Amino acid sequence: MSSLRKGGMNYFTISDICDLFDISNNYASQMAYQLKMDKKIEEIEKGKYTLPEGSEYPFLIASRTVQPSYISFKTALSVYITNKVPDTKVYYVATPKRKRPIAFKKYNFKYITLKPYKFFGFCQLNINGNEVAMAEPEKAILDCLEETEYGPDLIKLRDILKDFLGFISIKKLIRYAIRCQNKSLLARLGYLLETLDIEAPIREKDLPKDYVKFDPAGDRQGRWIARWNIIDNI
């Protein structure tokens, strides 16, 4: 336990125990099992553990339980909005892999699968002494705009984007959106920026040919915006 804490291993696996003590996988598994029975460590899921104070490290657990991954969607936005660790019970993680949700203590970790070419736009942030992979603010906005189920409602997302204008790059936002290869996303982004009186240099050929709903979950009715081929249904 002293070695784990000294090494800052607030989250670790059987392989980490093998490397730390230069022991076999079988021996490491036995050691972990005994420590778990003695309530000195806690098992998040099979072969993945945290120290008893693991409730202090939900961001670390969220980003390490599947690799590669980064924290995004409304979870990342809440970090940038408050500039501190938010009090939330659901953590959204973007990953090119498929993974079932995890419930651990009072937390729920949900993993949203991205296509490999959309897995970009993240950085390392230090949260409670741990390096955590987090979406850049521009990518967090786009992830929410593309997978609206995991972000704030679009009216609130618009307000967040407005608040972010002082420290994000519109050029990067558009460049990242083009890289996502989703014409509907570009249409939503262009219209969203237009509502904030921001010019969005998005080419017509990068927009959908048919009208798309601004809110994918909403009805196909509302204002039809020809410039973006968007139905403003919110």
Average pLDDT over every residue of 221-228? 96
Query: What is the percent of the chain where pLDDT is above 90?
Result: 85
pLDDT score, position 42: 94
pLDDT score, position 150: 96
Q: Is the pLDDT of residue 54 over 80?
A: no
Pick the CATH number of 1-51 from 3.90.1570, 1.10.10, 1.10.3470, 3.30.420: 1.10.10
| Tens-place pLDDT, residues 18-53 | 999 999 999 999 999 999 999 999 999 999 999 988
Q: Is the pLDDT of residue 105 over 80?
A: yes
pLDDT score, position 202: 93
Query: What is the percent of the chain where pLDDT is above 70?
Result: 98
Angle at 121 between CA 199 and CA 15, to 5 degrees: 170
Query: The pTM is what?
Result: 0.92
Mean pLDDT of all residues in the chain?
94
127: pLDDT confidence band, cut at 50, 70 and 90?
A: confident
Domain range list for the chain = 1-51, 146-232
- Per mean pLDDT, which range of 22-26, 56-60, 83-87, 146-150 is the poorest? 83-87
pLDDT score, position 160: 95
Q: 13 with 49: CB under 8 angstroms?
A: yes
pLDDT score, position 32: 95
What is the spatial distance between Cα 132 and Cα 125, in angstroms, rounded to a whole number? Answer: 5
84: pLDDT confidence band, cut at 50, 70 and 90?
A: low
| Tens-place pLDDT, residues 180-203 | 999 999 999 999 999 999 999 999
130: pLDDT confidence band, cut at 50, 70 and 90?
A: confident
Beta strand segments in the chain, E: 11-13, 42-45, 48-50, 70-71, 90-95, 102-104, 107-113, 122-127, 130-135, 212-213, 223-225, 230-232
Q: Is the pLDDT of residue 55 over 80?
A: no
